[in-house]
Amino acid sequence: MVGKGWYRAISSVRTRLLVWYFLLTTGTVFISIKTTYSIFCARIGVQAENSALQQANQLNVLVEKYRLKGKQGPDNIDTLFQWLLSSYVPTRGEYIITLVGNRIHETKPELPSDVLEQHPGLVQTWAGLAKEQRQHIETQGQHLYYVAKPVVWNRTQETGSIVVLNDSTTEYQIAESAIGLVMRMTFGLLLIFFLLAWFTAGRVLYPLRLLTKTAHSITESDMTQRIPVQGKDEIAELATTVNEMLDRLQAAFDSQKEFLKDASHELRTPITVIQGHLEMLKYQPQKEETIALVMDELERMSRLVNDLLLLAKAERSDFLRLKPEELDWLTEEIYLKARGLAKRDWRLESKGLSPITVDRQRLTQAVMNLVQNAIRHTKVGDTIALGSAVKGDRAYFWVRDTGEGISPDDQKRIFERFVRATGDLQSEGYGLGLSIVAAIAQSHGGQVELVSQLGHGSTFMIVLPLVQDAVTSTTLNARHPILPSS
């Protein structure tokens, strides 16, 4: 378990992010420092080269100046070099070396002994010059640049050499020391920033850990856990999205539980009746009545199962078969079917004049369910009116009756499955008719609206979009002013 815990800690998103952050940052800093050091050293070398060249050119000018003086000039090359060195003001790290033949004539200022000790062949190289020579010398602990020029004194035909040597070792040591200090400070700051990033990443990723914890705590029996949402960043948006998903899942599970409970309750009664009568069938001489009663209960169960299957199919994408229909013809066809169902004062109030894309059979089924509902809540002589209309991009079907009406409390829940109005408890059916109407309307992208008052009848209205671009399930909240008065 300990090894597994370490593996999870090392392979976690937090660790991987910070490792990549540390590697990228460290690599960037290292490359930047290395590049800066290289540029700085290159500038030191260029400065040393330019300084040596400038000094060598000045000495060359003096040599030519003394040569032009003729007899008034130096008598020999030794005197020439003495005159040259007497006018030279040394700068830091710069040395003038004069050679006569194969020997060093003089250096100004005094040349450190370790220079010639580490490079014993330099004197022979300088003494045998036939032309100007420039060279960088880099050894462990030393950075030298020299310009060496041969000199021939015409008056005595003596030969010698003048060497301008620039020792940049001190500047390189200062640069290395500064870079070392910068690297130590930088890596110290990187360590501090890494620790801060570790804690910051922990706070940023805390909602993800909380999401995992919440997901583990959610069970089929307890889906109430939610993730606290803080801020407005991507993590907060993810937490909000997951919470909304959990709300939908909880609603689906609750609906499924309620559905199973209601379905089992409604099926228990006919099953018990059928079972009881079948058990007593062998003791009854009149079997025809028992068989008729059993067949009636089976028929009711079949209707219930068919209604449940219809509600289940309403959530599928292939539930509807959409085709263009003429609204006025469809309204008149439904009216002609409805008026033969019962003795009522049937009326066709209006017909919309517009093409509409719907599933003809499903919509007819929904309206006929509303008609059946109106018949159950009216008496002979009461009015049941049908109609359709178009307003904007919406089509409206309504069924209005002058029956007993529906109480406000029942209106809030009457479209739920297995729910019947208070005055409808003794009637046949299982309370699925209006649920089917709502499911068909929502599958078309519409909704069902209800206006009712006890003692003054009810008006059910199906509101649908004229054109079905896609099968949707939306709920419109606005009330429409074209409802007919009841």
- Domain extents in the chain: 14-175, 234-313, 323-465
Nearest to 394 by CA among 359, 360, 352, 434: 352
Residue 269: per-residue pLDDT:
64
Query: Between residues 166 and 155, which one has the greater pLDDT?
Result: 166
- Could you count the other beta carbons within 10 Å of the beta carbon of residue 87? 9
Confidence tier at 251 by pLDDT (50, 70, 90): confident
Q: Is the pLDDT of residue 470 over 50?
A: no
Q: In the CATH hierarchy, which fold is given to the domain comprising 14-175? A: Beta-Lactamase (3.30.450)
Which residue type does 176 have? E
User: Which pLDDT does position 262 carry in this prediction?
Assistant: 64
pLDDT > 80? residue 424: no
Cβ-contact 385, 349 below 8 angstroms: yes
**Average pLDDT of span 214-227:** 73
Q: What topology does CATH give the domain 234-313?
A: Helix Hairpins (1.10.287)
| Class of domain 323-465 as given by CATH | alpha beta
418 confidence band (pLDDT: 50, 70, 90): low
Q: Express as a percent the part of the chain with pLDDT over 70.
A: 86
Given a cut of 90, whether residue 384 has pLDDT beyond it is yes
Average pLDDT over residues 418-433: 58
What's CA 338's distance to the chain center, in Å?
54
Average pLDDT of the residues of the chain? 80
- For the cut 60, the answer to whether the pLDDT of residue 58 exceeds it is yes
Q: Provide the token pair at 325.
A: 């229909």
In angstroms, rounded to a whole number, what is the distance separating the alpha carbons of residues 110 and 167? 13
Res 220: pLDDT: 64
Q: What is the pLDDT of residue 239?
A: 79
Beta bridge partners of 301: none
Nearest to 370 by CA among 441, 267, 305: 441
Residue 426 predicted with pLDDT over 50: no
Better pLDDT: 460 or 226? 460
pLDDT higher than 80, residue 80: yes
Residue 88's pLDDT is what?
A: 81
345 SS3 class: strand
pLDDT at residue 425 is higher than 50: no
Average pLDDT over residues 287-315: 73
Evaluate whether 207 touches 230 at the Cβ level (below 8 Å): yes
| Lowest-confidence region among 72-81, 332-341, 394-403 | 72-81
pLDDT of residue 79: 85
| Three-class SS state of 325 | strand
pLDDT tier at 398 (50, 70, 90 boundaries)? Answer: very high
Average pLDDT over residues 71-82: 82
* pLDDT at site 471: 41
Separation in Å, CA 100 to CA 308, 331, 343: 119, 126, 142
pTM over 0.85: no
- Mean local confidence (pLDDT), 54-65: 87
pLDDT at 215: 74
**pLDDT greater than 50 at residue 473:** no
Q: 16-42: per-residue pLDDT in tens?
A: 888 888 888 888 888 998 898 889 888
* Structure token pair of residue 20: 């990549």
- For the ranges 118-122, 137-141, 215-219, the lowest mean pLDDT is seen at 215-219
Q: Which of 122-126, 260-264, 313-317 has the highest mean pLDDT?
A: 122-126
- The arithmetic mean of pLDDT across residues 58-71, rounded, is 83
Of the ranges 100-104, 108-112, 159-163, 269-273, the best mean pLDDT one: 159-163
Q: What pLDDT is stored for residue 113 in this prediction?
A: 77
pLDDT for residue 171: 87
pLDDT exceeds 70 at position 429: no
pLDDT at 136 (0 to 100) = 87
Question: Would you place residue 447 in the very low, low, confident or very high pLDDT band (cuts 50, 70, 90)?
Answer: very high
Token output for 386: 């049908």
pLDDT number for residue 483: 41
User: Which pLDDT belongs to residue 76?
Assistant: 85
Q: DSSP letters of 416-436?
A: STT---GGGTTSSS-S-HHHH
Helix axes 169-204, 206-217, angle to 10 degrees: 30
Q: Percentage of residues in the chain with pLDDT exceeding 90?
A: 16
